Structure 1
Amino acid sequence: MRRRAVLTAGALAGALALTGCSGSGAAKAELSVASSYMPQPVSADMAAGFLTITNNGGTDDRLTSVSSAAAGQVTMHSTVGGAMTEESSFAIPAHGRLVFKSGGNHLMFEKLKHPPRQGQTVTVKLTFAKSGPLTVEMPVKSATYNPSTGH
């Protein structure tokens, strides 16, 4: 009888451990990127970039930095009421989205090494607080490109 109780307790502990593992696996950020583009810059040394990061996971994450070999630096900005502010990070809520769009949150590619032209792509590395980095190919669109969907 005692042996049976020990085996039952062991089986129960094992089941709880497995449940804990599968539960923690479900509670992570699952990030993907869509609708990325850069309007062809009108300036020789600066460009804007836009994209949408979707988090289908059960945990919040943060975009902490953006880099590109095409620019000396890439900064992140919010725009509220017409006022632009540089940000050090942006939240990406669980089961939510972070949208960078014209007139709102956006990326600024500063100190361009060469002005990207329409039809080219710019490689961008997104770094997050919890998830691994993502590399995105951002197509360069016309200077007046304005997507009708996706943002």
Structure 2
Amino acid sequence: MRRRSTVLTTAAALAGALALAGCGSGSDAGSSKAELSVSAPYMPQPVSADMAAGFLTITNKGGAQDELTSVTSDVAGQVTMHSTMGGAMQEKSSFAIPAHGQLVFKSGGNHLMFEKLKRKPDQGQKVTLKLTFARSGPLTVEMPVKSATYNPSTGH
């Protein structure tokens, strides 16, 4: 009887150790990194021949913060990132994207500036841009050109 008890105790201890081993970081890896996606991109049709603005939302469904570090586009010599606070526009070198959060670029707030346009995009066309992040791989986005007065909340 004593031998059977020892075998059961050993078996229970082994099962417990295996269960704990399954709780390691390997089974959770997906939630410990950023999971980025882009929605609602648009560019109002530029009113000048050399500059345009762009807006979009970057969503992070992952468990780690990331950072947008640069944006490039085939239509512009340079794309800069800006924040607007209290009516003052300030160029930024990066923007944090919180874990389980969003980075929103919208009219009157954070926005992209497409400078030194190589061509003036027209309504109905699409502009390609590449978003580069500190930790995640780059994302390529097709940004539709809307009317100069487009308002995403009304669709006009």
Please indicate, yes or no, whether the TM-score normalized by the shorter chain is above 0.5.
Answer: yes
5 Å-filtered alignment, 1:99-138, equals: 99-138=104-143
Aligned mate of 1:83, from 83, 88, 93:
88
Aligned residue pairs, count: 147
The unaligned stretches of length 5 or more in structure 2 are: 1-5
The aligned residue for residue 31 of structure 2 is: 26
User: For 2:30 and 2:21, how far apart are their aligned partners in 1?
Assistant: 14
Q: Deviations over 1:47-104 (max 9, x none)?
A: 0000000001111110000000110010000000000000000010011100000000
Instruction: Give the structure 1 partner of residue 14 of structure 2.
Output: 8
1:25 offset after TM fit, Å?
A: 2.5
Task: Give the direction of change, closer, same or farther, for the CA distance of 1:13–1:64 in structure 2 (3 Å limit).
Answer: farther
Distance 2:70 2:76 in 1: 14
3-state SS, counterpart of residue 43 of structure 1: coil
Choose from 94, 105, 115 the match for 2:99: 94
The one-letter code sitting in structure 1 at the alignment partner of 2:42 is Y
CA offset digits 1:18-53 (Å, max 9, x no partner)? 621122332111111001000000010100000000
Q: Which amino acid aligns with 1:41?
A: P
Alignment correspondent of 2:3: none
Retained in 1: the 8 A contact 2:55–2:105?
Answer: yes
| 2:58 equivalent to 1:53 | yes
Q: Secondary structure at the match of 1:78?
A: strand
TM-score w.r.t. length of structure 1: 0.88
Larger Rg: 2
Question: CA offset at residue 8 of structure 1?
Answer: 3.3
Partner Cα distance (1:14, 1:133) in 2: 37
Identity of aligned residues (%): 73
